[in-house]
Structure 1
Amino acid sequence: MTSPGSPSQTRALIIERLVGDSGEAAQVIGVGRGMAERSQLLLQKALAGGLGAPVTVDLQAVEVGRVPEARSRAGETFAMTVVSSPTSADAMTLVMDAPAIAVMVSALFGGDPDQPVAPIDRDLSQIEIDVATTVFQDVAVALNGSGRRALDLRLPVPRAMSGNEARRRVLRDGAAIRIIYGISTPTDTGTVTVMVPQRILLATRGATADHGDDQTTEFDWRARFSEEVMRSAVRLEATMPLARLTLGDLAAFQPGQVIELEEDARIQAKLSARDKTLFVCEFGKLGQNYTVRIRHPHDGGQDFIDGLMPG
């Protein structure tokens, strides 16, 4: 195997190996188009149910891209959600632009299909976010499939995000297939963009999936994803409980005041990462360094019961 010719090429190769290889563009587009075309009719039927006005769903494009490009064509106002699967936290990213949201809201509440829909140039309302979430659910169900070739998405989809939350959401880089659906009435049209990482698409519906060795492929991707997760760095935090005090006592605290620890505080230290408690530990000292010794895994159920019955 030849080495890349420059540091930037080496860096790109390493990143690509971490987030998943990309397939041959023609093969990936072919697999994505087949999936999108089979799902179009299902999506049309799902969106048509219960609407006060007719809405047309058409497949506008199937192309290769990168996952972070999901928002690149959505403008300033859009809704977004990220759907996970057993093998990936970002198995599908869905983005719905403001014109598509306006079309669906108008159709849902009986707007005149022959009149232009008022554009949305502000932050989305809660109703508009709920409508976007419903559309995302229908799209995900239509594309998910069934049987050995299913994407195994965790449904229902998470509630759509919008505004700064959606714009600032970090999307893991990686090669993807971009599927763009058009949602339109006779006067207006908008788009729903679906990004599926190529590592997910090819593992379930690619060339290897067609040869009857789905279990081997799934195992390989699970192992690869697990290795990537295990290399992630997390910050550990150890905390010790203080005595129970009233709000009045807390309000009376002064600088320099000494707070007495509970008798068993030393053996009730808790080790956590990313705001999730992992272990109950014992606080101590080894030489000049303070330490925590793991006693047992944290029991969330017991912790909840202890909170209901203090003391």
Structure 2
Amino acid sequence: MTSPGSPSQARSLIIERLVGDSGETDQVVDAGRAMAERAVPLLQKGLSGELGIPVIVDLKAVEVSRVPEARSRAGDNFAMTVVGSPASSDAMTLVMDSPAIAIMVSTLFGGDPDMPVSPIERELSSIEADVSTMVLQEVAQALNGSGRRSLELRLPAPRAMSGIEARRHVLRDGAAIRIVLGISTPVDSGSITVTMPQRIVLAGRDATASISEDDHGTSWRARFSEEVMRSTVALEATMPLARLTLGDLANLEVGQVIDFEETAQSRARLGARGQTLFVCEFGKLGQNYTVRIRHPFDAGQDFIDGLMPAGAGRA
């Protein structure tokens, strides 16, 4: 096994192993360009409908990049949002520079598109952040696609960040593709930069066939699975308290004590993201409270137990 020649090379190797190797440059750029070219007419139509005035949207560049470089060309005052998908929590990072924000705000509030707008040289106001969110939502929607090509983005997009929050937001490193869209009027122009991990662009889109022909499809799917398995979730343990009538519940008062049922300790439930996963036993180990997994949660059995008298359910 040959070791990397320098610390920077070692870091790059580790990162690529964690987030997935990059694809072939030509293949990635072609897939990204095809996606952008399909989206531009939809975006121009969507923005014109929101603004009531035609705004020129054109494709400036499609190039390979790294995810943390998403805001590297946006200057000091920009708006940014990160949109997730089932495949990745950071499937799309959208950055709108201050000239584009100024154009959108001026046009939306009745500014003359034939007159230059004043540049934004300060922190964004709440209204400017809201307008930026609306525009970035339109961009994400246009690029999301539909059917087989859909990225399945979690829309609507989160509210745009700006200022210190946007500059300090941590972007996970990885091979990416950068799509630069131009937003312009006859006298002003700005840009919106869309950065996506290369694996998101390639998976399930036009490049899928050629990847499969080279037997790389399984490899890409494995990297998806690895990334999902590395994601973190918050676990919640709950215990059944008691069965009360609605009348009893309505009569509860502050300070009133409610007894646990006798079997409550053995019927604790462990869940994540609103889904119950296991039935557990509540206990204590030293100074720490614990739950011990008894068996996987069975929704069907739980429904049946709910129809039976207390204590007659599953042991």
TM-score, L = length of structure 2: 0.73
Matches of 1:233 and 1:58 in 2, distance apart? Answer: 38
3-state SS, counterpart of residue 49 of structure 1: helix
Deviation at 1:24, TM superposition (A): 2.0
Deviation at 1:70, TM superposition (A): 0.8
Does structure 1 residue 193 correspond to structure 2 residue 216?
no
* 8 Å contact from structure 2 (residues 113, 187) kept in 1: yes
Aligned residue number for residue 38 of structure 2: 38
Per the alignment, do residues 233 and 133 of structure 1 end up closer, same or farther by CA in structure 2, a change over 3 Å counting?
closer
* 8 Å contact from structure 2 (residues 19, 223) kept in 1: no
Query: What is the one-letter code of the residue matched to 1:103?
Result: I
How is 1:72-83 mapped onto 2 (pairs within 5 angstroms)? 72-83=72-83
Does structure 1 residue 150 correspond to structure 2 residue 145?
no
Per the alignment, do residues 134 and 209 of structure 1 end up closer, same or farther by CA in structure 2, a change over 3 Å counting?
farther
Q: Which runs of 5+ in 1 are unaligned?
A: 241-245, 250-261, 300-311
TM-score, L = length of structure 1: 0.74
Q: Percent same amino acid at aligned positions? A: 72
* 8 Å contact from structure 2 (residues 87, 228) kept in 1: no
Matches of 1:44 and 1:233 in 2, distance apart? Answer: 38
How is 1:148-227 mapped onto 2 (pairs within 5 angstroms)? 148-205=148-205, 207-210=207-210, 217=217, 221=220, 223-227=222-226
Deviation at 1:153, TM superposition (A): 1.7
Query: What is the one-letter code of the residue matched to 1:65?
Result: S
Per the alignment, do residues 239 and 45 of structure 1 end up closer, same or farther by CA in structure 2, a change over 3 Å counting?
closer
Report the more deviating stretch, 162-171 or 203-212: 203-212
Matches of 1:164 and 1:231 in 2, distance apart? Answer: 28
Query: What is the one-letter code of the residue matched to 1:102?
Result: A
Give CA-to-partner distance per residue, 1:37-90, whole Å, 9 cap, x none.
Answer: 222222111111142443211211111111111111111111111111111111
Aligned residue number for residue 68 of structure 1: 68
How is 1:17-56 mapped onto 2 (pairs within 5 angstroms)? 17-56=17-56
Give CA-to-partner distance per residue, 1:127-183, whole Å, 9 cap, x none.
Answer: 222211221122112212222222222222222222222222111111111111111
* 8 Å contact from structure 1 (residues 183, 190) kept in 2: yes
3-state SS, counterpart of residue 74 of structure 1: coil
Aligned residue number for residue 243 of structure 2: none
RMSD: 3.9
Matches of 2:234 and 2:50 in 1, distance apart? Answer: 48
Matches of 1:281 and 1:17 in 2, distance apart? Answer: 36
Query: What is the one-letter code of the residue matched to 2:77?
Result: T
Give CA-to-partner distance per residue, 1:109-144, whole Å, 9 cap, x none.
Answer: 210112211222222222222211221122112212
Matches of 2:65 and 2:5 in 1, distance apart? Answer: 24
Between Structure 1 and Structure 2, how many residues are aligned?
289
* 8 Å contact from structure 1 (residues 282, 294) kept in 2: yes
Matches of 1:230 and 1:211 in 2, distance apart? Answer: 23
Aligned residue number for residue 257 of structure 1: none
Matches of 2:141 and 2:106 in 1, distance apart? Answer: 23
